[in-house]
Amino acid sequence: MNSVLTTRIDVSNRTVGGRTIALVVFTPPAGGLISWTRAALAALAAAVDAIDLAAVDAVAFIGTGAVFGAGADLAAFGSVSSRTESEQIARDGYAAFNRIGRLRLPTFAFLNGVALGGAFELALRADFRTVAARATNLGLPEARLGLVPGWGGLGLLADLAGPAAAAEIAVTRSLSGRALSAADLAACGVADVVIDDADFIGASLAWAAALLARTAEADAAATPAGPSAVGRPAAAAPWQPEALRAAVRKRIPGELPAVEKTIELLSAWQRANDARPASVPAGPTASRPARTAARLARGGDPIEAETIVTFGQLLQTDECRAAVYAFFTLQAARKRSRPGGTATAVSQVGVVGGGRMATQLALIFAERLDVPVRLTDLTPEQVAQALDCIADQLGRAVTRGTMTPQTRARVAALITGTSDLADLAGSDIVIEAVFEDLAVKRGVWESIERVVRPGALLLTNTSSLSIADQGAGLRHPERLIGFHFFNPVAQLPLVEIVRAPRNTDAVVAEAFALAGSLGKTAVLVKDSAGFVVNRLITRWFSDTLRLIDAGADAKLVDDALVADGFPMTPLTLIRHIGPRVQLHILAHLEEGFGDRFAVSPSLRRIVQQSLPSYVGPDGCLTPAAAEAIRSILPSPGDRVLPPLDQTAVRALLLHGLADEAGRMLADGTVHSAADIDACMILGANFPHHTGGLTPLLDRSGASLAARGTLFHP
* Closest-CA residue to 548 (of 558, 559, 538): 558
The amino acid at residue 349 is V
Non-local (6+) Cβ contacts of 41 within 8 A are 92, 93, 95, 96
Q: Is 317 exposed, middle or buried (0-12, 13-18, 19+ CB in 10 A)?
A: middle
Let me know if 306 is a catalytic residue.
Answer: no
What is the layout of strands, in order, in the sheet containing 67-69? 67-69, 114-116, 138-139
Structural contact between residues 152 and 121, judged by C-beta atoms closer than 8 angstroms: yes
- Alpha-helix runs per DSSP H in 214-355: 241-251, 257-274, 288-298, 304-315, 318-336
| Helices first, then strands: H and E counts in the chain | 29, 17
Separation between Cα atoms, residue 125 and residue 292, nearest integer Å: 11
Q: What is the 3-state secondary structure (H, E, C) of 393-429?
A: HHHHHHHHCCCCHHHHHHHHHHEEEECCHHHHCCCCE
Separation between Cα atoms, residue 686 and residue 537, nearest integer Å: 11
Phi, psi at 109, each rounded to 5°: -115, 125
Separation between Cα atoms, residue 686 and residue 677, nearest integer Å: 8
Separation between Cα atoms, residue 142 and residue 609, nearest integer Å: 48
What is the layout of strands, in order, in the sheet containing 415-418? 415-418, 373-376, 349-352, 429-432, 457-460, 480-484, 494-499, 521-526
DSSP string, 515-529: HHHTT-EEEEEES-T
Let me know if 510 is a catalytic residue.
Answer: no
395-401: which pairs have CB atoms within 8 A and are 24 or more residues apart?
397/490
What is the layout of strands, in order, in the sheet containing 19-27? 8-16, 19-27, 58-62, 107-111, 128-132, 193-195
Catalytic residue chosen out of the listed positions 121, 432, 496, 510: 121
With residue 114 as reference, give the H or E element that holds it: strand 114-116
Phi, psi at 668, each rounded to 5°: 80, 15
With residue 514 as reference, give the H or E element that holds it: helix 505-517
Catalytic residue chosen out of the listed positions 87, 142, 319, 367: 142
Catalytic residue positions, numbered: 121, 142
